[in-house]
Every structure is written in C-alpha cells, then in structure tokens.
Structure 1
Amino acid sequence: MFSCKVPFQNRVPESVSLVVNPCDNATNNLRVIYNPAPLGKKKHFVMCVKALNFRQKADSSVRLVEWLEMHKILGADKIVIYEYQVHPNMSKVLEYYKSTGLLDVVKFSLPGYHANIPDFMSIFLRHRAAIQFLLELIQYNDCMYKHMYMYDFVVVVDVDEVILPLSTDTWYDLIYKKTIPKVANVKPPPAGFVVRNLIFADDKAELQDWYPDIPRYMYLLQNVQRNVNYTYPPGDGVKAFHNPQIVFALHNHLPRQCIGHPDGWCPLHDFDLKDVHMQHYCTGKEKDECKLHRGVNLSVDTSIWKYNDRLTEATGRSLREIGLL
C-alpha cells in the first residue's frame, strides 16, 4: 500500500502517476476512483466478499440465495462479491440480485496456463495458498476504497459466515443503538468492532436429522449444531465492522493498518459475547476445525430461528422468481 498526501484541499485529482525516484519521468497514469455519497448522505453497511470460485464445485445457488436474503434482513445496504467462476445457476442468482440493487459483482481473474509471466503456473501451484491470500487482500482493499465515502462501515465476510446479532435483530441496532454509545468517550476511537467466531457443523445430509418444519434447502436454518466453545485464541477467525475513515489497509480478519498509527496498531472494540457472534459453517470436513462430532463437542444453537419466517418466505420467493424452485 502506498499513500501520498494530496497537495491541495477540496479538490480531487483525476489521476496519479507512480515513479520510483523523485523527478523520474512518469510512464504511467492511473485514474483516481472517487465515489462520494449521493447527496452527501452515507448509508450504513457495505459487505465485501472474496472472489467466488465454484465452477468445478457442486451448485450452491440455493444456499447463496438464502445467504443473501439473510444479510438483507440483517441490514446490509450493499453486497460486493468478486467472482472468478461460478456454476451457471449461481450466475442467475448474481444477475437477479444485481437487478434489485442489493449486489455488485466484480469480475476477477487468475493468471491461466497461458499467462504472459514465464513459468507462472509452476510458481502458482507451489504457492497457491499464499497467492490466493494476497489476491483476497487486493479484493478487500479495493472494495473498501471504492466505498469508503459511501458507507459508515465495511464488513468483510465469506459466503459460509453470518454475523448474527443476539440481543438485537439488526446490525443497525447492534452498532448504532447498542455499541457506539458504549464507546462514545473512548480515545482513540475504535477502527473496528470485532466479532468472535463459532464453528457450525453442516452434516445434515450425512446424518439425515432434518427439522421437518423447515424446508430442507434452508441451509442456515437447518444447521444449528455448533461447537461448544468459541474459536481459540480470541483473535483467531474473528471478523469485524471496519470504519473506513480510520482503517488504512484491510486484512481478511482485522484492520491491518490505521491512519494516525504508524506502527500499524489499530484500536479495536470487542463485542460482548451476549450481543453477537459469527456463525461459521464448515463445508470442508478435511479441515481440523470442521472435524466436529455430535455429543460433548457440539450444542444446539437456534439463535438464527428468530428469522425463520422472514428468511424462509424471502428465500422461497426469490428462488421462484429466479426459477430455481
């Protein structure tokens, strides 16, 4: 991340050039993206979601609809999803929600077998995890900077996660009515509000222990078995509501660097565990964190059922309009 102070006030540059040394001749000219809030009024929450890569995987379109409707209920004003490649049915879902104004989709690409970087694929295959992680960071920071003047908070989540309020019903009430008053006099102000992580098991199809009053396609509502304990240690696996006026660079879990804190430290506020947690659904049983077993390791947590009627109705309606039900 590079930063440069704008040499004049109340004016936004159209473009910038990057050079290696002072007084070098510029060989590039990069457009400045500046998206102010319409009429100067910000909305509350923009969600940033790393690139989907589902073409070779099972069709997750129905589950994606439920996930999008869940966050619409929670209060997401805009959801930005980056996309590598997806199943054709998922493309239908993305197009539908783009037409409603809830969703923006940003096409993203990985260098392929014919990349113009010599031997890139051999490098990519050896360092796949590190490269994909770096690309995720590019997506998250791109999303934050494009929307930093339009929304109060940037929320980074994956499509297998839901930040679920417990003592309130919406993110708005959680943040603006419950949490911000608590930190009104805290100095320096928090750059992010941090949510602890709980692992939820998704083995309904394996065990066939369905809840008969809930449609089987309602993945979030059907999977209510979770790990007894929060992810340990406390900073592991968390997600956060980020203040883009303080955060300079985003990590996928926490702010990576904050304005006014050159050592990289970012002031944070941890939510009270009785107010909110993040439900992280395990889809890859090969992961250690997903090797959960019914009994002492899991407990039933039906907190999400308070949205049962609204979520089931909204999901069914959208599935029918898309033609998936």
Structure 2
Amino acid sequence: FFFLIHNQLHVRTIVLCLLHLGKTRAQMSCCMLSGNQMTLHMTTANIYFEHLRLGYNPNIYMARQYICRVPVHADSLKSSYITLTSKDCSTDIQDYLSIIYPTRVLGGIALCGKIAHSGGLDPEKVIEWFEVQRLLGVDKVLIFDLGNPETLNRVFRYYQNLGILDLQPYELPGEPQNRSHDETMAVLECRQRLAGYEFIIGHDVDEFIIPRRDETLRDVFKKQLQREPSGSGFFFYTQFFITTWKPTNPEEDLMVKRYRRTTEPLWVSYKYVYLPSRVKAATTHRLFPYNPPFNRSRVPPSDAVLHHYRPCKLDYWGNCSVKTIIDNTMTRYRDLDERVARARAATSTKPQWSG
C-alpha cells in the first residue's frame, strides 16, 4: 500500500487506503510513531470499506480501506507517522507514512479526475477540460500520475502553477507487473484527500457536468440541496458526444464546440457529485452514504447533464446508429476559446486537427 490519509474532524480516526490480493485476509494492526521514532500506539486495524463483490478474487489487487482509532490528542498527530502491519510494529521511520490533514475549503468544489497514465490523454483536450472546469467554478482537481509524456506533463505543470491541480504520484505495486489492479483505489483515495471540500465531483477527463442554464456548478448543487436537504449525493444523466461521427461544426477550434451531435440524456455510465461529510465512500459509479437520513437522487436533465466525449462504443451500441439531437450548450462559453489559446501557447500544445 502506498497512500495514507487522515480524515474525520471530531473523532481521532485515520483512514488508510491500500491494494491487496483478493485472497488476502490477514489481521492488520495500526502502528504509530512520533517524530523521535518512539512508538505511540498499536491498535487493531478494522476494515472501513472494500469491494465485497470482487474482494475475494485471488488474482486481482483490490482496493481496501482500513480505519485506525487512535486514543491520542489530535495535536500530537501532526508530527506522527503511521503504517499497517500483520507483524510487530517497526521502529524504522522509513516503514511509515505521514498523516495528511485535508484542507478545509468552505463551500469549495473539488473534482476527482482519477488516474492519468502512459499518454492515454490528448494534451489539447485536457486543456479544454481544465478551462471548462475553471469556468464552472471547480476549485481543485486531483489526478494521480502513473507516468505520462512530456507533452502532457507540460499541461499538468501549467495547471499546478495556477493552483487548480493537485497531481499525486501513483504506481502499481506487486508482481507480476501485468496483474490487474482495482481502479477504485484512486476514487477511494480522492474521498479522503478532498474531504475538506463541501462537494466532490467524480468523473473522467473526457466528461463535464454542464448546467442547462447559464450558472455555475455551485448554483446547481445548492439548488439541488434546497430541494433535498438530506441529500448526500446527486447523479447525472449522460449525453454521449460521439467523436467517431463527423464534427457538426468543423470550423470551430475546440472539441467541445466542434462536436454537437449527441445522444439524448441516458441513464448510462452516470456520474455524481457528493458531500464528503455525508458519504462514507465512493466508487466509480456508486456512493455509500452514512446512515439515514442521508440519501441519493438523480438530477433532472432539465437542470444539468454529463457531457461525455468519446469514440463509438462498438461493444455497446454496435455501429452507433442511435437516436441523436443537436446540443449547442457549449457555445454559451464565449471566452473559452481565448482561455484555451493562452494555455496552448504557454504549453506549446496544438490540437490534432490543426495539421
């Protein structure tokens, strides 16, 4: 395991995220060290969350979270380190990780962009994605870096310097190196690192939650909470803008304005926003609220939808001969072109269709 997160505000608990082989059921203990490497405490680690449906597959590294309840004053945790073990506690600080305190951002919106890896992202499209998120009012984006080309790293550094991107190193542990790993690890990690924000969005870097009216995401989320004061999270219908189809407006410079032909809103591959203060854990498409009265609901497509830009899903739609509509919503963002142009110039990025 490799990431360590401190969470919870009024109780002294620590949540640790790790990957384990599906057959692993060893009893784990929490060990804490102070800055001078004196053992503070050893206690039983209890499972906080795991994929029960997949957790017993012996061939996959599955995501699991443990919780450690630490009977020490919270101030002493700031100079302490923690680890999990199935043996005796080590006294070597190299075997431990620092405890991280989520930054409190009152009314803040954070976005979990999951994992970026091996050049799988187009730098130009990533620029468009970030600029749309900024226009929508997103305060922080968390992405895990599994190794990317310099063309994409330049874009990441640009948004790190602007303060919107938190880019965390990521690796896939264990042998053999091609063994399957649970993508939920990054999503669970986001819930803990971003716990200080009021809202956490969960979707990929080719997706956008777009309000139907000219308003920010914060406006949409607040209105939804007014309707449902006990809401813990809200799911969005998806419109698929299929890039395999010819662009409806090839004269446009931006992907989000070139492609306007889309499916109608579908209850497929839906994504969400949630309040971490009301949600225990989140996976790619699911939320797990704390006990009632907190609930989950769908946002009406008349209020906001998820725009997903992707090639045709041949395994799902065949030749993609599906009912479509034209959606011109993205033309609302008139200064998006100028913002993207500035970012392209700063990162030496060109769109693929520029020749």
> 2:351 aligned with 1:319, yes or no?
no
CA distances 1:86-121 after superposition (whole Å, capped 9, x unpaired):
23211111111111111111121235xxx6x3xx24
Distance 1:30 1:108, change over 3 A: closer
> 2:196 aligned with 1:145, yes or no?
no
Equivalent of 2:204, from 158, 176, 183? 158
Letter in 2 for 1:251: T
Equivalent of 2:238, from 197, 205, 226? 197
The CA deviation at 1:230 is 1.0
Unpaired segments ≥5 residues, structure 2: 1-64, 351-355
For 1:276, the equivalent position in structure 2 comes to 304
| Bigger relative contact order (CA 8 A; separation at least 6) | 1
**Any conservation in 1 of the 2:312–2:320 contact (CA below 8 Å)?**
no
Counterparts of 2:318 and 2:339 in 1: how far apart (Å)? Answer: 29
The CA deviation at 1:228 is 2.9
Letter in 2 for 1:281: Y
The CA deviation at 1:297 is 1.8
TM-score norm. by structure 2 comes to 0.71
Letter in 2 for 1:64: V
The CA deviation at 1:241 is 0.9
Distance 1:44 1:208, change over 3 A: closer
The structure with the largest helix share of the pair is 1
Distance 1:245 1:12, change over 3 A: farther
Distance 1:268 1:317, change over 3 A: same
1:114-129 pair list within 5 angstroms: 117=175, 120-121=176-177, 124=179, 128=180
Equivalent of 2:112, from 48, 55, 58? 48
CA distances 1:211-267 after superposition (whole Å, capped 9, x unpaired):
42x22xx11111111113513xxxx41111111112121101221x33336xxx972
For 1:210, the equivalent position in structure 2 comes to 249
> 2:298 aligned with 1:251, yes or no?
no
Distance 1:64 1:29, change over 3 A: closer
Tell me whether 311-320 or 280-289 shows the greater mean CA deviation. Answer: 280-289
Distance 1:165 1:209, change over 3 A: closer
TM-score norm. by structure 1 comes to 0.77
For 2:34, the equivalent position in structure 1 comes to none
The structure with the largest strand share of the pair is 2
Counterparts of 1:289 and 1:6 in 2: how far apart (Å)? Answer: 51
SS of aligned partner of 1:85: coil
Distance 1:169 1:208, change over 3 A: closer
Distance 1:289 1:311, change over 3 A: farther
SS of aligned partner of 1:82: strand
For 2:330, the equivalent position in structure 1 comes to 304
SS of aligned partner of 1:96: helix
Unpaired segments ≥5 residues, structure 1: none
The CA deviation at 1:25 is 3.8
Distance 1:10 1:43, change over 3 A: same
Equivalent of 2:123, from 55, 61, 65? 61
Counterparts of 1:3 and 1:275 in 2: how far apart (Å)? Answer: 38
SS of aligned partner of 2:71: coil
Counterparts of 2:297 and 2:228 in 1: how far apart (Å)? Answer: 8
The CA deviation at 1:31 is 3.0
Distance 1:146 1:229, change over 3 A: closer
For 1:180, the equivalent position in structure 2 comes to 225
Counterparts of 1:103 and 1:244 in 2: how far apart (Å)? Answer: 19
Distance 1:285 1:32, change over 3 A: same
For 2:152, the equivalent position in structure 1 comes to 90
CA distances 1:112-168 after superposition (whole Å, capped 9, x unpaired):
xxx6x3xx246x2xxx4xx2xx1x21112212211212x101111101111111134
**Any conservation in 1 of the 2:211–2:304 contact (CA below 8 Å)?**
yes
> 2:172 aligned with 1:110, yes or no?
yes
CA distances 1:61-94 after superposition (whole Å, capped 9, x unpaired):
1111111101110111011111223232111111
Distance 1:70 1:291, change over 3 A: farther
RMSD: 2.6
Letter in 2 for 1:259: Y
SS of aligned partner of 1:210: coil
Q: How many residues align?
A: 280
SS of aligned partner of 1:273: coil
Counterparts of 1:26 and 1:97 in 2: how far apart (Å)? Answer: 40
Counterparts of 2:117 and 2:338 in 1: how far apart (Å)? Answer: 28
For 2:59, the equivalent position in structure 1 comes to none
Equivalent of 2:256, from 220, 233, 255? 220
SS of aligned partner of 1:34: coil
